[in-house]
Structure 1
């Protein structure tokens, strides 16, 4: 069983939520079925981020059947609106709530403090609490594969990157992409355009056009819609998809993409709640852990490029390749990590600098 709740309906119910909180009401727990809530920052039809979370929810429904009841709320703005939506889910008996955005981290923590018996899971955040876990994928690993392909194939040595927000998750992806590209082609320069949104197809397409106008013959992205790939297809250049297999939108341009695979994680955490074994955790898995997969390689890739990409993917999977192994120099020409050493996960999580070869301002 499932419920689909539009964001505007929840906003309309805000007075009820506020009144219930003032009266000290707690969540009303389901007696027979575990109620599981999902909060998405963009529409499930975005063909990217929220779509793949929705696929994960459907995996949960298929696995547990009548043991659970799920609700999802799409297109929820980050900030106070998210707090209201998460609160409403807690008040209506949802005992496990997944909030699928970095911008939902603080609202999740605020609501979790008021509902200590509800389990919360925030995607891409870093702060935990006794009843709040965080989970994320090593998206930057996929961009190592991207960089390898782009470095081998670019003719202009200029590669474009449509970036959402200057948070570590995005910055580490830009840096991993750049390092991988330069590993096979030291002359590669990566130009970055910030759009300050996760999902705005028109703005994403405009950003891709800016990069094309600057000579980019590859477009990659850390935004949710297929618009950058569609613009690349129109311009006759190559692209890499984000979050989901976007090849249907750019059959010639799309060489591969990152595919987020949340279903196995969601199933495991729902089972933990059903078993009474749920505990706060911090999950950060990549290709090896199955949270991240690569979209099929385009048949137009030459044998040597495909072999190199496959080799990199396998090395990431078996742990023999560290994307942030030294030597690494930052954009100011300063040595960050020496040869023979590598950045720690903590250093990667706190990344707020560009590697040498990235052309673009890093907003504060």
Structure 2
């Protein structure tokens, strides 16, 4: 009996050893599968639309980077008022973290799903005592706007030097969706970038009062060109303004894009562009959930109150799109590189100069930029909402 017991004991030891060898051979995860994090995305538009496309690029990068460690799911064309339906669907699909570019009220939905982290592209300052599982984020895109403005200014300088325009004809046009701080901050930074090269530069702005309307954006662009603008840019969601410039390229007009590379749409007139790169934040936030760590302590960027984050060129949250070397002025690439490095190093305060800004909704609310203005100081949401006197004209 004792020998039989010893034999059984020996067989058990051999069996355990074989299992350990098998685990080493086939991999630990074959026997103990790692947790798969389910990542949800809610888009306010089709993923091919310029604004949502940038988020879709981040979604693809998440899947490519983490492979079988994650599963990504998405809901597209979600109206703000139907955001709760998309959240319900993704929550039922066992999502661990959900990202959205929608303006829908995610903040009030988050407490219903405490096991899910919600990350929303910010559009409004987060109030005090935001839910612990609600986060906001946005790139400090005024930096990209300023850099784009420098490119526009260099083109204006070239046009002046070649006698194509006089200094007093250095006019920018801007197709703007709404008179929101995010939009005003952007076109002001664009103008200030241009004026750092050509101080006589002025800007004309035309609002569409809608985010995406190809027909209306193109019509506003055409009106700006008729008003004498020689370089256009935009904060709107279609290539309408780029097409308007391309159709008028014989008149020596140019375009600076936003959100996506517009060179293919305007090969003769597109100079450059800028966009928010959502990937660094989204990759970092997913990694935080995978490692069961706080998002704000995992992602590189500036942390504001209430789980809010922002960053610019330094953390690659903002980047330039393709430069069209066929129409860029000589030396523009080098100058742009230097400008971006100065922005990375904090050597440029964009909103500074001998300017007075006026709140379009309250003329008594003004700002003197001789003392400077720090954008995104306390929030990822843009706060500069002033129209610069004498150099910016809003067309009705």
Partners of 2:47 and 2:393 in 1: CA distance: 33
Partners of 1:203 and 1:87 in 2: CA distance: 35
Match of 1:6 in 2: none
Partners of 2:121 and 2:311 in 1: CA distance: 12
Q: Is the 1:327–1:335 contact (alpha carbons within 8 Å) kept by the matching residues of 2?
A: no
- Superposed CA RMSD: 2.4
266-275 or 337-346, which deviates more: 337-346
Regions of 4+ moved over 6 Å: 332-335
2:341 to 314, 317, 330: 314
What's the TM-score once normalised by structure 1's chain length?
A: 0.82
- Does 2:73 correspond to 1:87? no
- Bigger Rg, which one: 2
Match of 2:238 in 1: 225
Q: Is the 1:87–1:111 contact (alpha carbons within 8 Å) kept by the matching residues of 2?
A: no
- Does 2:320 correspond to 1:294? yes
Partners of 1:192 and 1:234 in 2: CA distance: 20
Match of 1:122 in 2: 120
2:392 to 344, 358, 362: 358
- 1:1-364 to structure 2, matched below 5 A, reads 32-46=35-49, 48-78=50-80, 80-101=81-102, 103-104=103-104, 107-125=105-123, 126-127=125-126, 128-154=130-156, 155=165, 156-236=169-249, 237-279=253-295, 281-299=307-325, 300-331=327-358, 336-337=367-368, 339=370, 341-343=372-374, 345-346=377-378, 349-356=382-389, 357-360=391-394
Query: How far is 1:350 from its partner?
Result: 2.5
Partners of 2:77 and 2:219 in 1: CA distance: 22
SS across alignment from 1:70: strand
SS across alignment from 1:257: strand
Q: Is the 1:159–1:189 contact (alpha carbons within 8 Å) kept by the matching residues of 2?
A: yes
What's the TM-score once normalised by structure 2's chain length?
A: 0.76
Q: Is the 2:145–2:189 contact (alpha carbons within 8 Å) kept by the matching residues of 1?
A: yes
Partners of 1:213 and 1:341 in 2: CA distance: 34
SS across alignment from 1:303: coil
Stretches of structure 2 lacking an aligned partner (at least 5 in a row): 1-33, 157-164, 297-306
